[in-house]
Amino acid sequence: MMNVQLSDYQNHDATGLAECVARGEVTPDELLDAALAGVAAVNGRLNAVVATFEEEARRFIRDELGDGPFRGVPFLLKDLTAHYGGQPTGAGWPPRARIKPAADAELVRRFKKAGVVIFGKTSVPELAMDWTTRSRIHGVTNNPWDPSRTAGTSSGGTAVSVAAGIVPMAHGNDGGGSIRVPSSVCGVFGLKPSRGRNPVAPSGSTWQGMLVEHVLSRSVRDSAAMLDATHGHHRGQFYNNPPGGNFASEVGRDPGRLRIAVSTRAPYGAPTHPDCIKAVEQTVRLLESLGHICEPFDIDLPADGWSAFETFILAEYATDMRLEERVLGRRLTADDFEPLLWDMIEAGNRISAVEVNVATTRLHAVAAAVTATFDRYDVFLSPTLAQPPLPHDAFPQATSMRGHYEFYLSWMPYTHIFNVNGSPAMSVPLVWNEAGLPIGVQFAAAPAEEGLLYRLASQLEIASPWKNRRPPVSIA
């Protein structure tokens, strides 16, 4: 692979690239050359990478590169929480554009120990408060399967970068679906770990543990090996390190005959598009051919669960901005935000502590209902999304706060319940519709059961491989 061709580079997952480095077939600098060439080749059409820092990446290769499992593999950070010392974490938000954290977040330190070469940041919605990846600073991020369509939220730039071949794996996080949603619409693999599995960047308890950190990848084995490299106790964290580990060893293991609950009824009543239902039905046929038992089952959720989630998240948005004021050293005003975002923050400021605690108690009831599913079933299967990848113009540019959340439920109702209960959940790219667009399916398991999901995902990856699917816009 010397003088790396982009087609050769794109044909390897992160594990494969690290093996090439270990065999002396390619150097980390040459892989970085390929990744930067990939950015140059497609980012003009996709708008997924919002910052690169080549000089810092070359310095890291020269001075700090260790012998972790992904030694020398190019890697991107989502431009939201994972601070890289000396580089801005912009969050698609003008006031943050010039703020440079002094030190790496704990998660970034662990990424570096794993051997990846971090060279840039990927796009996010402004403050991750939109349901598609767009911001005033960076504009709209386009889907490589059809650039007129959404990249999802909020790890959209990461999903696009992986799908288009710029990198084989990159950082994402998930507070209500933000790993799984863009994985679904971009046709990549995305697993949200259990609450507390990975250190949360930069603070130790973002959204009371609902927001979790990991990666999006093209292969199952990359996701598992990176979770091995990053999980574990972190003293700065409130929710910490559920039992389990050695996830890479689960890849390729027989999952056994699983009992799988199947649902295409969206939580809180949103209609589900026929393509998304068909994707689940096709997946059920595949699972049954592999010997698994699939049974219809809908989780009976508390009627006030969604309103409790809205209350909780609005209060968290307001809390996040109160903490931002400390970083910026000034009060934030309406001039700092799009009108809808300011309305949401102000709504959060009006919620009392008692109302937040009541909402949290009701979310505990949601968590109990979701977790009880795994007393009867090993795995829960549903669509990842209620609709196929939507056109950009389907996302309203301005709406009321009520309309904003109604749109959420029409688009991504299936994912947030597993943030609430803390289960691992994954979107698996098994199905493409007649228009050639990826339709992800979601699997969830009991808290701390990532190993079971990795066993099942690797079985599905062999039975219905997605490795060689390439979107119309890709680096080679």
Catalogue the active-site residues.
Answer: 78, 154, 178
Q: What does the buried/exposed string (b/e) look like for 108-141 if buried means 16 or more CB atoms within 10 Å of the residue's CB? A: bebbbbbbbbbbbbbbbbbbbbbbbbbbebbebb
Question: What is the identity of the amino acid at 135?
Answer: S
Cα Rg, the chain, nearest whole Å: 21
Question: Is the distance from CB of 123 to CB of 159 less than 8 angstroms?
Answer: no
Distance CA 295, CA 282 (A): 14
Question: Is the distance from CB of 398 to CB of 340 less than 8 angstroms?
Answer: yes
**Which pair of tokens denotes residue 125?**
């919605």
- In sequence order, which residues have a C-beta less than 8 Å from that of residue 161 and are 6 or more positions away? 48, 49, 76, 122, 167, 170
- In sequence order, which residues have a C-beta less than 8 Å from that of residue 221 and are 6 or more positions away? 13, 15, 248, 251, 458
**Which pair of tokens denotes residue 372?**
């009880």
**Which pair of tokens denotes residue 221?**
């084995």
Query: Distance of CA 237 to CAs 59, 248, 324, Å?
Result: 30, 24, 19
Within 224-340, strands assigned E span: 259-262, 293-296
Closest CA relative to residue 173, chosen from 105, 243, 112, 116:
105
